[in-house]
Structure 1
Amino acid sequence: MKYRNLIAAAGALTLSATLVAQAPAGAPPANPLRAGFQRIQQPPPMVDFADNTGFTSLFDGTLKGWSYDPNLWDIKDGSIHIVATCEKPTGTVYAVSTAGEFGDFVLKYEMKGTGNINGGMQFRSYITGDPNSTGTKFPPVVRPTPPPRPAGSNAPARPPRPAACANPGTPPTREFESKWDLAGPQADFDEGNKYSGMFYEQSGRAVIATPGFSMYGDASGSYAMAKIVDKAQHDEWFHKDDWNQFIVVAIGHSTSIYMNGHLITQFVDTDPTYFRPSGKIGVESESTGDLWVRNISIKKL
């Protein structure tokens, strides 16, 4: 970097000397700084999603290099695929890359879904059932207990929810899936585009903010610093029933999530209870519908 700066400085001095030498007689000397800024004020080239220079592929068209429940995950249309129905639900499940742990990186992938599918890409995560997993472990999630019904209350009991199908199935147990269960940050995705591109945290702080915000988090909580995009524009950028291109850039305490060439979420996280500087990559799926993922590649920074 220092040599690049020296070369740039030498170039600026050369440009300055040239401008002064070419100035008309009697005219004030050109401002070399202004000329330099004018020279570089061009729109930077957009990232080509298909350019994998410097990237390592995490998906070769098979499930080699992934750890997963073979009863749930498969390959379909050249993609990592899972389907869940009311009759054969999956619950919240994961396919975990065995490529190791990643700290600072650029992660690229494409994702699409059907039905009510909700999922996403985990990063800097750990396997909850692995006692040897490294890094920060999240405290147990404490869910509020509903207040008891008053003694002698004549209030009718809440009616059970109607079944979504005639023969609702039972998802696999959490104990069985624990060898793949991930906790940590996620770039969210859902076919209804309520959450796509959001920073979500499995087994941690959950929804820190809906998509479209620049955020900051510390030990006292998480805060929205600025709004990046509103819901209408977010929906316009989303490719419903088609492939969506995601890029996750994680550098130190800062994470940026892009969808189809647009910044959706930015989060600077210094919360010591939850921030994780590195961890595993994995695909998460829940709810009902199909989820496809392909073209997964990563560049270490």
Structure 2
Amino acid sequence: MFCKNRITFALTAALLATSAAAVAQAPPAAAAPNPLQAGFQRIGTPPPMNNFADNTGFTPLFDGTLKGFSYDPALWNIQDGAIHLTATCEKPTGTVYAVSTAGEFGDFVLKYEMKGTGNINGGMQFRSYITSDSNVTGGPKMVPAPRPAAPPRPAAAGAAAPRAPRPAACATPGTAPSKESQAKYDMAGPQADFDQANHYSGMFYEQSGRAVIATPGYSMYADATGSWAMAQIADKATHDSWFHKDDWNQFVVVALGHSVSIYMNGHLVTQIVDIDPKYFRAAGKIGVESESFGDLWVRNISIKKL
């Protein structure tokens, strides 16, 4: 009896050891795929930057000429392969536009490059309309109004620097084109702002409407009661480090429903969720805007519908 039990115990121990070894050597079973994680990267792994030069799915809005734009030929031209404008004290332009004739766009990814000199201020209009058009589509029509001074940057980011002053008066100051002569080009609506001093580049601005809505470096929310900062994306020093002064800056505007995100040189600068029933526009025209003194260049404008 004793021997039999010892033999049985020995056999059982051997079988257990063999099974344990087999389990240890067997490859681990593959985890079932989680459909909710499809297309997403593991947390902690930075996603790849979008390649600005990748034009897959994009339609060019600029072919190296101005034939795809409505504009005043006395102001706008082509220089160095880009849409160009010069404004000086002797030949001021006021606030003027070159409007894409490609139609209206709602949800899209819009990308372009922009640079300037002097104290030029401008930007790219989107989901906008011609103010003289009585048949406005895509959203409400705002009453044209002078561009107000920008409010100070929220305290968390430090006080905003003032707009660059105009140059000293020249010997023969000129007169800007009349509003009547520019009426068929004049635009209103959202804009991704740009200025050579980088006070406002990448800001969400609304021409002839709410003016400054989302200052650079903030995630914003806007409704019928106003606009509110939800989170800070970058402080002023960081925003300045992203800007290419005296060189080309790459901008990407992603508009999807009530959300708009504006990127500059690969960095998210401004984000806004806009549900204001009086001002939100779901679609509209694309156009280049310029004001103040200096040179403005814009090139590589293309769009992808979403």
Q: Tell me the TM-score normalised to structure 2 length.
A: 0.80
Query: 282-291 or 170-179: which moved more?
Result: 170-179
Q: 1:84 aligns with which of 66, 82, 87?
A: 87
Q: Which amino acid counterpart does residue 223 of structure 1 have in structure 2?
A: W
Question: What is the aligned counterpart of 1:272 among 268, 277, 280?
Answer: 277
Measured after TM superposition, the shift of residue 33 of structure 1 is 6.9
Q: What pairs up with 1:197-208 in 2 under 5 angstroms? A: 197-208=202-213
Output one character per residue of 1:170-199: Cα deviation in whole Å (capped at 9) or x when no partner.
Answer: 100111101000000000000000000000
Q: 1:250 to 1:23 in 2, by over 3 A?
A: farther
Q: TM-score, normalised by structure 1?
A: 0.81
The corresponding residue for 2:193 is 188
Judge conservation of contact 2:66–2:77 (CA < 8 Å) in 1. yes
Contact 1:247 1:258 in 2 (8 A): yes
> Number of residues paired by the alignment?
262
CA radius of gyration, larger in: 2
Q: Alignment RMSD, CA only?
A: 2.5
Q: Which residue of 2 is the match for residue 66 of structure 1?
A: 69
Gaps of 5+ in 1: 1-21, 145-160
Between the two proteins, what is the percent identity of the paired residues? 75
- Equivalents in 2 of 1:101, 1:109: separation in Å? 17
List per-residue Cα deviations over 1:98-131 (Å, max 9, x = no partner).
0000000000000000000000000000000111
Which position in structure 2 is the counterpart of 1:112? 115
Q: Which residue of structure 1 aligns with residue 229 of structure 2? A: 224
Which whole-Å CA distance do the structure 2 matches of 1:55 and 1:142 have between them? 34
C-alpha distance in structure 1 between counterparts of 2:264 and 2:65, whole Å? 25
1:141-220 equivalence runs, <5 A: 141=145, 164-220=169-225
Instruction: Determine if contact 2:119/2:195 at 8 Å carries over to the other structure.
Output: yes
Q: Provide closer, same or farther for how the CA distance between residues 106 and 26 of structure 1 changes in structure 2, counting only shifts above 3 A.
A: closer
Does the 8 A contact of 1:23 with 1:29 survive in 2?
A: no
Give the SS at the match of 1:24: helix
Deviation at 1:133, TM superposition (A): 2.5
Aligned residue identity for 1:244: N
Supply the AA of the counterpart residue of 1:99: A
Of the three residues 284, 287, 293, the one matched with 1:282 is: 287
Secondary structure class of the residue paired with 1:234: helix
